[in-house]
A and B are shown apart, each in its own frame.
Chain A
């Protein structure tokens, strides 16, 4: 195989996996605190449209990215208020958030559909970008790609090396015990939900500002849901999120390369486009068929409301 093609596919895979990493890391922290937020698709859409609009008006993609984070956090706060303060069902509220976020983003984004943004140039890391084949693919990337790696290390350190992470995991495993030894369960869950919202907003911002610098209704295209599946696939562990995200990125990109290669294959493009969704289903099946594995790894209080008796 042509090494340039390998570099190109690898490069595109890393880019395609990046939003999934960012969003799935946020959801992972969310779920490790025991809160299941199914609204990631809506939070991503909100992040994407706000980041796009602000970037368009300020000309600065980084201010745009911050706006995306803020939008994701703002809408996740609605979810937090309903599920944590008012004890609403997390599944139903998450679905509402997904529907609402996608709808509101379409509404807000209408005037921006014909607008294009300037592409953000990649940042080349000296020396290591010169490594043959993988250098160009991994180290001549968008700054956001490096940020996603930093976020990965940060989440890893936070969950397993910091005291706060330990408390967060305790809240997810047994909120009653955490409460009994004096940890503010609801506050910690709020913070986890906000972090999930921030990451989903940033992931959305990556899509609309850095990946394909444009806004189209429905451009998140199920990535929020794929990220949710990814967390299950990763059995709630950060490293596996990283691996899984690039696997999915690979599936997305490979089908695009086949479509774009002009290979005369007798296979409709729509069938190729459906592959990432089938891959998500297959991966879910493979990991879920072992119920013990899921039970041992999923946070024990996931999705269950907790109300400290005053």
Chain B
């Protein structure tokens, strides 16, 4: 292997430029792989490419749909990033999203017709609390019993899916809904106001941007955020400085759960207008990719969530026009993360031609 003319050589210090270039490199590689995939499927690669990456955003309505899908991704990802930075691996945002949706829907259904202007804020709080409560289970089990949070958060996704299905098939089912697994539609006062006539875009995007900024301020400028970053980058130093490891776990998981819960609220109070058993399209899992591709950094997360939203919309487009399953979105999303992880090698290593100097 050492005689191979192309080799990786450790850089004297990690490259800052590559830290930000590697997501771009990953996107380029994903686009190239897209061409290959469409050709391999026997479709016109250029047409597939256009349908997937450009068609969704060719007009204002398309852009509004993009923002609509990016908002929950942004919310989930910013919460996850707070945990990831501290090496708290919450991968159950999907379940926390569902619980947020349940909490917000509960408030909307309970105060049906008597809500008024305070109903939406109440739903927001209920969503955040429900998501955080669902994330509190792994936090408690991790801090008290040392149980691995990756596996616990993930198991709770399956549990949350079953519980929401119970609610919409059972006690919360709309009696006038022809037996469909869904609650009745929320009243006007439980719906986020539309902000662009002729589209479905609603105030949820402002909530997402607000949480994004709050997350940024928390991580960069608060003492707690600082302690969490230290815990992630140098666990030994954090311990030596006396920073509480269990507090890090609690904050990481509660932030992730709360933000995912808010995302669940914006989904039921926004485009859906009711709770169904298919409340999440996999936003919680996609948000893991958003957080990584966005380099756990708010601006990066905002851009990455737009990209991931585009991948969701592109999947719908090729399903409509090329008769391909929409799960192709997940293929692209997974590939993007693979390419990113691969490209990240160039942060610490560089490519060298020729033999190693002896």
- The complex places the Cα of A22 from the Cα of B324 at a distance, in Å, of 33
**Complex interface bits, A126-163 against B, C-beta within 8 A gives 1, otherwise 0:** 00000000000000000000000000000000000000
**Complex interface bits, A241-279 against B, C-beta within 8 A gives 1, otherwise 0:** 000000000000000000000000000101101100110
What is the interface size of chain B, counting residues whose CB is below 8 A from a CB of the partner? 45
The reply on A95 being an interface residue by CB < 8 A is yes
B155–A222 contact, CB under 8 A? Answer: yes
Of the candidate stretches A24-32, A170-178, A286-294, the one touching chain B is A286-294
B331–A104 contact, CB under 8 A? Answer: yes
The reply on B154 being an interface residue by CB < 8 A is yes
The reply on A209 being an interface residue by CB < 8 A is no
The reply on B303 being an interface residue by CB < 8 A is no
- The complex places the Cα of A229 from the Cα of B162 at a distance, in Å, of 20
A100–B331 contact, CB under 8 A? Answer: yes
Q: Chain B interface secondary structure, helix, strand, loop or mixed?
A: helix
B146–A99 contact, CB under 8 A? Answer: no
Which positions 269-310 of chain A face chain B at CB distance < 8 Å? 270-271, 273-274, 277-278, 280-281, 284-285, 288-289, 291, 294, 310
Closest to A93 in B: B341
- The complex places the Cα of A82 from the Cα of B338 at a distance, in Å, of 8
Closest to A269 in B: B166
- The complex places the Cα of A52 from the Cα of B63 at a distance, in Å, of 39
Given contacts A99-B333, A110-B327, A221-B158, contact A284 B163 (CB under 8 A): no
- The complex places the Cα of A169 from the Cα of B344 at a distance, in Å, of 29
Of the candidate stretches B43-51, B121-129, B215-223, B284-292, the one touching chain A is B284-292
A102–B330 contact, CB under 8 A? Answer: yes
The reply on A89 being an interface residue by CB < 8 A is yes
The reply on A43 being an interface residue by CB < 8 A is no
The reply on A9 being an interface residue by CB < 8 A is no
- The complex places the Cα of A96 from the Cα of B340 at a distance, in Å, of 10
- The complex places the Cα of A106 from the Cα of B288 at a distance, in Å, of 19
A89–B2 contact, CB under 8 A? Answer: no
Which positions 313-354 of chain B face chain A at CB distance < 8 Å? 324-325, 327-331, 333-335, 337-338, 341-342, 344-345, 348
Which positions 146-180 of chain B face chain A at CB distance < 8 Å? 146-148, 150-152, 154-156, 158-159, 162-163, 165-166, 169-170
The reply on B299 being an interface residue by CB < 8 A is no
> How many A residues are at the interface, by size bracket?
35 or more
Closest to A42 in B: B334
B327–A86 contact, CB under 8 A? Answer: no
Q: How far is the CB of A280 from chain B (nearest CB, A)?
A: 5
Closest to A89 in B: B341
A99–B337 contact, CB under 8 A? Answer: yes
Which positions 195-212 of chain A face chain B at CB distance < 8 Å? none
Of B141, B147, B337, the contact of A100 (CB 8 Å cutoff): B337
A277–B327 contact, CB under 8 A? Answer: no
B337–A88 contact, CB under 8 A? Answer: no
The reply on A33 being an interface residue by CB < 8 A is no
The reply on A20 being an interface residue by CB < 8 A is no
Q: Give the chain A neighbours of B154 by CB distance below 8 A.
A: 222, 225
Q: A99-B285, A99-B330, A100-B330 are in contact. List 17 more A-B contacts (CB 8 A).
A: A88-B341, A89-B341, A92-B337, A93-B341, A99-B333, A99-B334, A100-B333, A103-B331, A110-B325, A222-B155, A225-B154, A270-B163, A271-B162, A273-B162, A284-B152, A289-B145, A294-B146
Interface residues of B (CB under 8 A from A): 2, 89, 91, 141, 144-148, 150-152, 154-156, 158-159, 162-163, 165-166, 169-170, 285, 288-289, 292, 324-325, 327-331, 333-335, 337-338, 341-342, 344-345, 348, 356
